[in-house]
Amino acid sequence: MNGNEVVITGVGCITPLGLSLEALSAALREGRSGIGEVASFDASAYPCRFGAEVLDLELGDFIESSKTYIDRTSAFTLAACASALRDAHWTGDESVGLVFGTAWGCMDSLALFAQKLVEGKPKFVSPLPFTHSYANAPNSLASIEFKLRGFNACLTSGHVSGLAAVEYACRRVALGKEKRLLAGGAESLSEPIFHAYCLRGGLNAGGEPLPYDPASGGMLLGEGAAVVAVEDAESARQWNTPVLARVLGWASCQGDGNCRLPIADCRLQAAAGEGEPRSLPAVADGLARSMREAMERGGIGPADVDAIVGIGCGLPEVDGAEIEAVRSVFGGDCLKSAIGNRKSAISPALISVKGLLGEAMGAGGGMSLAAALACLEGHFLPGGEPLQRPLRTLLVNSADPCGACVSLVACSA
């Protein structure tokens, strides 16, 4: 690996399975699902009524200041950042920066402002929700709340946004541009987003996504936030900061669509109003390249990877593209499992936590990384089944149906 050594020294995660890494770890060991009927808004009129929601967050448990108004995406962000800062012992360090990703931003605030604008005269509409509706509003609120005066960036790259933010942070730390960065993503399951995905198609009306199973009826949406503290290893040694994991390699790629992989019926419904489906060769192509480049950067080969924490959202077309990409990189077949490591001579295991956490869009990649860190720390794979060999190196994948792909290799400290 070229440049400075990059490590992760803290993690904050707000998920439907718990509000800390410890809670998430316990739930994953049990294979417990966070999916249920949507409760934060009335979903009875939609063809899908299920999702994975964060319903027990009290922001006051994480920050001291009171808020007259806060969007749910921003609340998730503040809570996750507070946890990561405490975990890394960075509280009070104003040199820390923030790289954050979201696919949709603060849609609750935008919808509220638009609703009030339609219902009443413009001059009587409060401007407060509008100021919270920007995609970078969570960045701004977190920077103010925690006095983060370092490098600041907001990434809006669809479903890869959260893991792309971590990848970008790792690049900057490796290049010596920053010593300490918070990085991750957040997303809330607002009704406008839910409505859009229902129109688009691909959601599972039955309430049970089956990652990597061709019989799956589709994906279910989730929400939450995951933030990691990315640090120069030398800085961590100087401050005597415990290291959770080492980041060996990372890569981001845009699939060119000229994929030579044998993807069978790799299709996804187009956006609402466009009836013709479009193929997903770009996803398979981009993932194959991002996995190879991430491993090459880390100086490891396919035989060194113990498991892949993949996309596995339950949408057969997307999952099929990832399976073909993994086959092309690792050779032969791969173990396809929604949760856990089944007995098999095949390595590495291909797992996904989205059958338990839902597809959290811009936060999904970051939440998969948090799950990977929990697995590395506790030496387990979701579901609690015995490992075939000691768990040391995990590869995390994230992809957007448009072809943007990110891969990251994390190793136990």
- State the pLDDT at residue 254: 86
Place of tokens 């697995």: 375
Structure tokens at 115: 């609703």
pLDDT band for position 258 (cuts 50, 70, 90): low
For the chain, the domains span 6-246, 249-412
Inform me whether the pLDDT recorded for 128 exceeds 50: yes
- State the pLDDT at residue 276: 35
Inform me whether the pLDDT recorded for 273 exceeds 50: no
User: For residue range 327-371, what is the model confidence (pLDDT) as tens digits?
Assistant: 999 986 555 444 433 333 345 788 999 999 999 999 999 999 999
As a whole number, mean pLDDT of residues 273-297 equals 77
- State the pLDDT at residue 337: 47
- State the pLDDT at residue 119: 78
Nearest C-alpha neighbor of 225 from the set 51, 366, 374: 366
Integer Cα distance of 36 and 25 in angstroms: 20
Residues 388, 347: contact at Cβ < 8 Å? yes
Q: Residue 47: is the preceding peptide bond cis (ω within 30°)? A: no
Inform me whether the pLDDT recorded for 278 exceeds 90: no
pLDDT band for position 275 (cuts 50, 70, 90): very low
Cα within 13 Å of Cα(373), Cβ side = 30
- State the pLDDT at residue 348: 79
- State the pLDDT at residue 270: 33
Among 65-69, 202-206, 208-212, 343-347, the least confident range? 343-347
Alpha-carbon Rg for the chain in angstroms: 20
Place of tokens 């707000």: 14
- State the pLDDT at residue 116: 79
Inform me whether the pLDDT recorded for 317 exceeds 80: yes
CA distances to 21, 162, 231, 232 from 170, rounded to whole Å, are: 21, 13, 8, 9
Residues 248, 411: contact at Cβ < 8 Å? yes
| Shared fold status for 6-246 and 249-412 | yes
Nearest C-alpha neighbor of 165 from the set 142, 183, 182: 183
Nearest C-alpha neighbor of 9 from the set 210, 177, 237: 237
pLDDT band for position 373 (cuts 50, 70, 90): very high
As a whole number, mean pLDDT of residues 181-192 equals 96
Structure tokens at 302: 């396919």
The CATH number of the structural domain formed by 249-412 is: 3.40.47.10
The CATH number of the structural domain formed by 6-246 is: 3.40.47.10
- pLDDT averaged over every residue in the chain: 88
Integer Cα distance of 325 and 320 in angstroms: 9
As a whole number, mean pLDDT of residues 123-146 equals 90
Structure tokens at 183: 């990085």
Q: What is this structure's pTM?
A: 0.91
Which amino acid, one-letter code, is at 150? G
Among 4-18, 273-287, 316-330, the least confident range? 273-287
Answer with the residue of higher pLDDT: 127 or 337: 127
User: For residue range 18-42, what is the model confidence (pLDDT) as tens digits?
Assistant: 999 999 999 999 999 999 999 999 9
User: For residue range 47-94, what is the model confidence (pLDDT) as tens digits?
Assistant: 999 999 999 999 999 999 999 899 999 999 999 999 999 999 999 999
Integer Cα distance of 337 and 323 in angstroms: 11
Extract long-range pairs of 261-265: CB within 8 Å, 24+ residues apart.
261/285, 261/288, 261/324, 261/325, 261/327, 261/328, 262/324, 263/320, 263/321, 263/324, 264/320, 265/317, 265/320
Inform me whether the pLDDT recorded for 230 exceeds 60: yes
pLDDT band for position 272 (cuts 50, 70, 90): very low
Extract long-range pairs of 205-208: CB within 8 Å, 24+ residues apart.
205/47, 205/48, 205/49, 207/35, 207/36, 207/37, 207/48, 207/49, 207/50, 208/35
- State the pLDDT at residue 264: 35
- State the pLDDT at residue 207: 76
Structure tokens at 138: 């969570």
Residues 67, 137: contact at Cβ < 8 Å? no
Structure tokens at 157: 């790259």
- State the pLDDT at residue 261: 42
pLDDT band for position 3 (cuts 50, 70, 90): confident
